[in-house]
């Protein structure tokens, strides 16, 4: 909906991270806009550098593209990083100075797994800096598909739109009204997530036990997979600070890259298909998300039941060791 409202022609660009959730590049293409990528820095735990944003904006403008908005996914998908508060302040400042709409994809806000990081909404950050609706157009996205609830099939979610004038808000409501009514179960679940049990409510204690149990289990699963990947030859994996994914880097032998090219596949797609055929384990090739040229990755969820993780790790290790031996240079 926001892409439809922001994009007027191919001369309008949207800044999006690479690696990215492919919905963004697809919806920008669907609405006839220009995808303006900025690279996350794998060496600094998938850091988002404002200098990189500025470089990409200047380059796009030199080609006659009007950059209209910045997409930030925090916590990250597929990369699993959680932005630091100071970093977020710099991003808000950048959007204000450059006149950009900030599109804050915050659907993994409940999924934080490290003690030294916590989630801060971009609205909270902007208000803490003294910015009001008059200073920064901001759209915050939330979903029932993630978090501790993870109800992907219910199809519920919402966005909060701030910093837009009344005429623009009216157009947003018009676009929303063109759609059919949301599904009832999605609406109910959205309202429950917006208003969880509070201290003193009859269900509060059991709710907190279940919620904390789910989040701590996801954290253990993420740590187990991260340690397993980093123990293997030819794989390096950044820490999963949040979200539901790991995005390990594959350092493939040249022979494996050659075999992939002979098969007409991207090297990470070739690896993922071989993994699926040998073990039944499904991962998504990094080439589907965009990645720095000459690098190869895959995205792995942390969602299988916790008691199944050791067997998955065992099957994965056995496959990977055989794969590396088969293609050793």
Give me the chain's average pLDDT, please: 95
| Three-class secondary structure assignment of 7-74 | CCCCCEEEEEEECCCCHHHHHHHHCCCEEEEEECEHHHCCECCHHHHHHHHHHHHHCCCEEEEEEEEC
pLDDT of 205 strictly over 90: yes
Residue 281's CB is within 10 A of a number of other CB atoms, namely: 15
List of residues 6+ apart from 188 with CB closer than 8 A: none
Fold of 1-194: 3.40.640
pLDDT at position 39 is 95
pLDDT tens-place string over residues 236-263: 999 999 999 999 999 999 999 999 999 9
pLDDT at position 72 is 97
pLDDT at position 180 is 80
pLDDT of 152 strictly over 90: no
Q: pLDDT grade, residue 207 (50/70/90)?
A: very high
Give me the mean pLDDT over the 35-43 stretch. 96
Give me the mean pLDDT over the 261-277 stretch. 97
pLDDT at position 302 is 94
pLDDT of 164 strictly over 90: yes
Quote the CA–CA distance of 309 and 156 in Å, as a whole number. Answer: 29
pLDDT tens-place string over residues 85-112: 999 999 999 999 999 999 999 999 999 9
Q: Is 75 exposed, middle or buried (0-12, 13-18, 19+ CB in 10 A)?
A: buried
Query: In this structure, what token pair is assigned to residue 183?
Result: 């599904």
Question: Is the pTM higher than 0.75?
Answer: yes
Q: pLDDT grade, residue 179 (50/70/90)?
A: confident
pLDDT of 154 strictly over 90: no
Q: pLDDT grade, residue 310 (50/70/90)?
A: very high
May I ask the CATH architecture of the domain 225-327? Answer: Alpha-Beta Complex (3.90)
pLDDT at position 153 is 86
Percent of the chain with pLDDT over 90: 92
Give me the mean pLDDT over the 278-285 stretch. 97
Domain limits, the chain? 1-194, 225-327
pLDDT at position 181 is 81
pLDDT tens-place string over residues 10-26: 999 999 999 998 999 99
Q: pLDDT grade, residue 151 (50/70/90)?
A: confident
Q: How far is CA 133 from the centre of its chain?
A: 26
pLDDT of 182 strictly over 90: no
pLDDT at position 143 is 94
pLDDT tens-place string over residues 115-124: 999 999 999 9
Quote the CA–CA distance of 221 and 14 in Å, as a whole number. Answer: 34
Q: pLDDT grade, residue 329 (50/70/90)?
A: confident
């Amino acid at each position: 909906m926001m892409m439809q409202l922001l994009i007027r022609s191919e001369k309008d660009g949207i800044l999006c991270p690479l690696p990215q959730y492919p919905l963004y590049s697809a919806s920008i293409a669907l609405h006839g806009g220009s995808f303006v990528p900025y690279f996350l820095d794998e060496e600094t735990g998938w850091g988002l550098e404002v200098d990189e944003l500025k470089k990409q904006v200047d380059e796009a403008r030199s080609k006659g593209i009007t950059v209209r908005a910045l997409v930030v996914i925090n916590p990250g998908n597929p990369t699993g990083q959680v932005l630091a508060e100071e970093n977020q302040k710099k991003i808000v400042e950048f959007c204000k100075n450059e006149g950009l709409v900030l599109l804050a994809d915050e659907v993994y806000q409940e999924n934080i797994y490290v003690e030294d990081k916590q989630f801060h909404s971009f609205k909270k950050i902007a208000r803490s800096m003294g910015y009001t609706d008059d200073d920064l157009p901001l759209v915050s996205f939330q979903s029932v598909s993630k978090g501790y609830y993870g109800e992907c099939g219910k199809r519920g979610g919402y966005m909060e739109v701030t910093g837009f004038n009344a005429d623009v808000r009216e157009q947003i409501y018009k676009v929303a009204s063109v759609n059919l009514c949301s599904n009832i179960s999605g609406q109910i679940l959205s309202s429950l997530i917006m208003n969880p049990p509070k201290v003193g409510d009859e269900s509060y204690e059991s709710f907190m036990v279940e919620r904390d149990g789910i989040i701590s289990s996801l954290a253990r699963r993420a740590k187990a997979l991260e340690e397993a990947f980093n123990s293997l030859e030819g794989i390096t994996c950044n820490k999963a600070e949040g979200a539901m994914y790991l995005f390990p880097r594959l350092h493939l032998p040249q022979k494996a890259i050659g075999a992939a090219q002979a098969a007409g596949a991207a090297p990470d797609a070739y690896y993922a298909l071989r993994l699926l055929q040998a073990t039944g384990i499904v991962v998504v090739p990094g080439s589907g998300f965009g990645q720095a040229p000459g690098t190869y990755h895959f995205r792995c969820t942390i969602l299988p039941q916790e008691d199944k993780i050791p067997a998955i790790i065992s099957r994965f290790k056995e496959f990977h060791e055989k794969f590396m031996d088969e293609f050793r240079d």
